[in-house]
Structure 1
Amino acid sequence: MTSFSAERRSLDASLERAGFYPRLVADTVHDALDGREPLSHVAHLETHFERNEVHRHITVLVLTEDMLVITHVDDQQLDEDGQQMMAQVSTESVPVSQIRSVVLSYLYAQPQDYKPSDQARELTLAIAWSGGQRLDMGPAGCSDPQCDADHGYTGTISQEDIVLRVSAEADGMQAVQNAKSFARALRKVNTANPVVPGAGSSGSPTSRRQPGLGARFSRTHHQG
């Protein structure tokens, strides 16, 4: 009888709790792991409503000693009754040595009353490895409400390949803590596997690790 590690069992249990085609998602994740042992994971399920259709999306991040394995599964309704469904699956495996930044953004309620035991109400995890940047732009303004002058534009730049937003209200406090634990594990493994010059996935030289810029996030899906 095959004996699985505690983290492997925890991963499978998380996929079962998510309840989103758990057998399909589990088989996809374990196939992408290619025999590697998971160290930590996050499974994040989202539901979107479009007219009279319901669309669900799950993102599963699994960390191993040398890889970050990302799995996305979406479903699509092919008929009005929802009897004919289709699932779209994608996986990506990123060497941890290529991860350039891990950015965490937190939201705390009533910060004036903060105590060390207080937990963040929301966490956003942004991971970048390709060197791509996202620029959020908007009209600049000033403090004078009567001013109608053109102040140009302002914006923020952030490095991100994937962004996950987890909130206590939508996902539960334990989900926020799980995402935080995953981020800590990722940073630990990433620090032990620094970016190596010339190890970029495109074959071009890779420079030293760069910090993430900015902390404004608007999407929770994979950023291609």
Structure 2
Amino acid sequence: MPNRHGPALPAALTDEIRDCGYFPELIADAIARARGPEQVEGYLVHHEATFNRDEIQRHLSVLLLTPTRLLVGHTDENEAPGEPVQALTTTESVPLGRVGSVALSQVVSNPESYGTRRAKVVEAWLTIGWGTMRRIDLLPAQCDDPTCEADHGYTGDLANDDLTVRISAAADGEAKVNQLIEFSTQLQLATGITR
């Protein structure tokens, strides 16, 4: 795949983008442009299809780790009746020092046998926060008195989660789950180092 913006992407990353069959030249070019001359230290490609009435809409995310940044690329289809197909691609460059949290959640089958072949990670979630998006979950506040009818206001949580990627073995395969775990670990280590 030709690259017009800097050194070629690693062959394995280019192959994964191509295998998704979803505007591979556009996506590879956008990621290469955002990366510039920096070395690729890790990556994760996530292809997701969603159903909207009788249509399938595709979304592709590419996460790329460089020595100084996390690059996040998103590409979506944009179809309108009677119009040519369009794609919207966005790349965001996040300095590693701005990444405030990297959470890896794993769903393990047969956890009592962890460390053997019986136990498997069947689903993994990567949640990354860098302060662009915040979510507030509010609930009515309660007191310990079950007969109390007073208004105690609200209580809640403020979550810093700019991106969540969920990969399951059933939908994406065990190798893809392992790739998400490896990328998450790389990112946790990279953002934990004082620069």
**TM-score, shorter chain, exceeding 0.5:** yes
Tell me whether 1:14 sits opposite 2:25 in the alignment: no
- Matches for 1:204-219 after TM superposition, within 5 Å: none
Aligned to 2:100: 100
Q: 1: CA distance between counterparts of 2:121 and 2:157? A: 23
Aligned to 1:158: 159
Given that 2:110 and 2:120 are in contact with CA atoms closer than 8 Å, whether structure 1 keeps it comes out as no
Q: 1: CA distance between counterparts of 2:63 and 2:35? A: 11
TM-score by length of 1: 0.71
Q: 2: CA distance between counterparts of 1:131 and 1:88? A: 20
Given that 1:137 and 1:156 are in contact with CA atoms closer than 8 Å, whether structure 2 keeps it comes out as yes
2:109 partner SS: coil
Q: Which moved more, 1:127-136 or 1:96-105?
A: 127-136
Shift in CA distance, 13/106, structure 1 to aligned 2, threshold 3 Å? same
Q: 2: CA distance between counterparts of 1:101 and 1:129? A: 7
Opposite residue 106 of structure 1, the aligned amino acid is Q
Aligned to 2:185: 184
How far 1:157 moved relative to its partner? 4.1
Question: Structure 1: where are the runs of 5+ without partners?
Answer: 142-146, 195-224
1:65 partner SS: coil
TM-score by length of 2: 0.81
1:189 partner SS: helix
Q: 2: CA distance between counterparts of 1:140 and 1:107? A: 31
Tell me whether 1:71 sits opposite 2:73 in the alignment: yes
1 or 2, which has the higher strand percentage?
A: 2
Tell me whether 1:116 sits opposite 2:121 in the alignment: no
Given that 1:8 and 1:37 are in contact with CA atoms closer than 8 Å, whether structure 2 keeps it comes out as no
Deviations 1:174-203 (A, max 9, x none): 111001110111122212245xxxxxxxxx
Aligned to 1:24: 26
How far 1:133 moved relative to its partner? 3.3
Given that 1:96 and 1:193 are in contact with CA atoms closer than 8 Å, whether structure 2 keeps it comes out as no
Shift in CA distance, 20/131, structure 1 to aligned 2, threshold 3 Å? closer
Give aligned pairs, total: 183
Aligned to 1:51: 53
Opposite residue 34 of structure 1, the aligned amino acid is G
How far 1:139 moved relative to its partner? 6.8
Question: Structure 2: where are the runs of 5+ without partners?
Answer: none
How far 1:137 moved relative to its partner? 4.0
Aligned to 1:221: none
Q: 2: CA distance between counterparts of 1:149 and 1:47? A: 48
